[in-house]
Amino acid sequence: MLRIEPSGAALGAEIVGVDLSKTLDDATFDAIVAAYHEHEVVFFRGQTLTPEQHIAFSRRFGELELHVRADRCRPGYPELFVVSNVIENGKPIGSQDAGLFWHSDLCYMAEPSRGSIFYAREVPIADDGRPLGDTLFASATAAYNALPDSTKQRIAGLKAVNSYEKGYYRDRKSGGRPPLTEEQKRRTPDIEHPVVRTHPFTGRQCLFVNEGYTSAIAGMDGPDGETLLNTLLEHATQQRFIYRHRWRVGDLLIWDNCSTQHLAVPDYELPRRRVMERATVRGSRPF
Ligand code: OGA
Ligand code: MN
C-alpha cells in the first residue's frame, strides 16, 4: 500500500511504495491523484522507467501535449519534452534554458496544462556530493489565501494577458534560441486568463499570474496595472509558499500547473550533465 509523506513546506509530498513501471490498479491510481490534488506537487523516488512506461503512466491523467518546440522532444517520442544541457553531435538534445523565470507550463495556451510529469534521468552532482539543478515550486493556493482581503476584492474578476512570445524572447537572451517560426507564433497568440483561477478538480482559488509569461493585467495598460501585477508576482513566490526539490536520478515528480508555479535553478554546467524528460497533461479552459 502506498504511503504519503508531506514535505513540511506549503506544498509537496513524497509517495512511497509504488512502482510506476507496473500497470497500477484503479484504487492505487486514484490515491495518487487524490494526493496530487491535495499536495500540488508529488514525487516518487527510485523509479526505473522506459519512455513508454513514463508515457503510459502520464496518459492515465489525460491526453498528452506535443510541445510547440518539436525539435526539443525525445526523438521518436513527441510526447516527451527534454530539458537538458547535453549537446550531442553539435546539437542540444533538449531545451537548455527551460524555466529560468517563475512560470507555469502552457499558461499561454487557451487551455493550459493540467500538470507536468517530470522524470530525472541524469542529475548534476557537486564535488561535495550535493545535487545541483534543483527546482523550486510555489503554491498558488497558499499565495492566494495569504493575500489581504482588500487585494482579493480588487483582483476578483480581473484577467491577465499571458504571452508565449514574451517568455520565449526573454529566455532567449540567456540561451541563444532561434526566432519563433510563423507556425509557432500561429499556435501561441497572446491569451487572457483569470488572475484568480478556480482549480477544476478541488475548487480551490489559485493566483494564476507568473513572471515568465504574464505580461499585463487586461484593460489596465497604465502604471496602476503594472504596479498591481508586480505586487502580485512578488507576493506569489515568497519563501513561505515554496517547496524546493533536490533531484535524484529516478525521481518522477508531478506538478500541478494550476495550483503551482515553478523555477529552475541553473547552478551547474557541463561536464556535469542534467537530463530530464517531461510529459505534459492537457488541461481545460481556466475559469
Ligand atoms: C519544465 C521546467 C524546470 C527544471 O520542464 O517545464 O520548467 O528544473 N523545468 O528543469
Ligand atoms: Mn516549466
190 within some domain: yes
Residue 16 structural domain: 3-281
Kind of pairing between the strands at 252-256 and 242-245: unpaired
Distance 264 CA to ligand 1 centre (A): 6
Task: Spell out the residues 6+ positions from residue 96 whose beta carbon is closer than 8 angstroms to its own.
Answer: 84, 85, 175
50 within some domain: yes
Q: Are the C-beta atoms of residues 228 and 217 closer than 8 Å to each other? A: yes
pLDDT at 176: 64
Hey, which of 69, 135, 170 would you mutate to test ligand 1's pocket, going by the most ligand atoms within 8 Å of its Cβ? 135
Q: pLDDT tens, 46-64?
A: 999 999 999 999 999 999 9
Q: How confident is the model at residue 241 (pLDDT cuts 50, 70, 90)?
A: very high
61 within some domain: yes
pLDDT at 174: 56
Q: What is the rounded CA–CA span in Å between residue 140 and residue 142? A: 6
Residue 141 Cβ < 6 Å to ligand 1: no
Residue 279 Cβ < 6 Å to ligand 1: no
Q: 276's torsion region: left (phi>0), alpha (psi -120 to 50) or beta?
A: beta
62 within some domain: yes
Whether the per-residue pLDDT at 170 is higher than 90: the answer is no
C-alpha cell at 148: 489581504
| % of the chain surpassing 70 pLDDT | 98
Q: Are the C-beta atoms of residues 254 and 135 closer than 8 Å to each other? A: no
C-alpha cell at 84: 537538458
Query: Poorest-confidence range of 14-28, 87-101, 195-209?
Result: 87-101
Residue 10 Cβ < 6 Å to ligand 1: no
User: Which protein residue's CA is at the shortest distance from atom 2 of ligand 1?
Assistant: 99
How many domains are there within the chain? 1
Other Cβ atoms less than 10 A from the Cβ of 178: the count is 9
Residue 278 Cβ < 6 Å to ligand 1: yes
Query: Poorest-confidence range of 5-14, 97-106, 233-242?
Result: 97-106
pLDDT at 169: 78
Whether the per-residue pLDDT at 161 is higher than 80: the answer is yes
286 within some domain: no
pLDDT at 216: 96
Kind of pairing between the strands at 13-16 and 41-44: parallel
Q: What is the rounded CA–CA span in Å between residue 22 and residue 96? A: 31
115 within some domain: yes
pLDDT at 171: 62
The predicted model gives 6-14 an average pLDDT of 98
> If you compute the radius of gyration of the chain from its CA atoms, what whole number of angstroms results?
18
pLDDT at 175: 59
Q: How confident is the model at residue 67 (pLDDT cuts 50, 70, 90)?
A: confident
The predicted model gives 24-35 an average pLDDT of 98
Distance 198 CA to ligand 2 centre (A): 20
Q: What's the whole-model pTM score?
A: 0.96
Query: CB pairs under 8 A, 24+ apart, for 84-91?
Result: 84/122, 84/273, 84/274, 84/275, 84/276, 85/268, 85/269, 85/270, 85/272, 85/273, 85/274, 86/122, 86/270, 86/273, 86/274, 86/275, 87/270
Q: pLDDT tens, 134-149?
A: 999 999 999 999 999 9
Distance 8 CA to ligand 1 centre (A): 22
Query: What CA–CA distances, in Å, run from 254 to 51, 124, 221?
Result: 16, 20, 36
287 within some domain: no
Residues β-bridged to residue 88: 91
Q: pLDDT tens, 112-142?
A: 999 999 999 999 999 999 999 999 999 999 9
User: Catalytic positions, please?
Assistant: 103, 105, 262, 278
Q: pLDDT tens, 171-206?
A: 655 556 788 888 888 888 999 999 999 999 999 999
Q: What is the rounded CA–CA span in Å between residue 266 and residue 100? A: 7
Q: Are the C-beta atoms of residues 155 and 195 closer than 8 Å to each other? A: yes
Of the candidates 143, 112, 118, the one whose C-alpha atom is nearest the C-alpha of residue 255 is 118
Q: Are the C-beta atoms of residues 257 and 115 closer than 8 Å to each other? A: yes
pLDDT at 166: 85
208 within some domain: yes
Q: What is the rounded CA–CA span in Å between residue 30 and residue 214? A: 33
pLDDT at 187: 86
pLDDT at 168: 82
Cis bond before residue 271 (omega within 30° of 0): yes
Query: For the chain, how long is the longest CA-to-CA vector?
Result: 56
CATH number, domain containing residue 37: 3.60.130.10
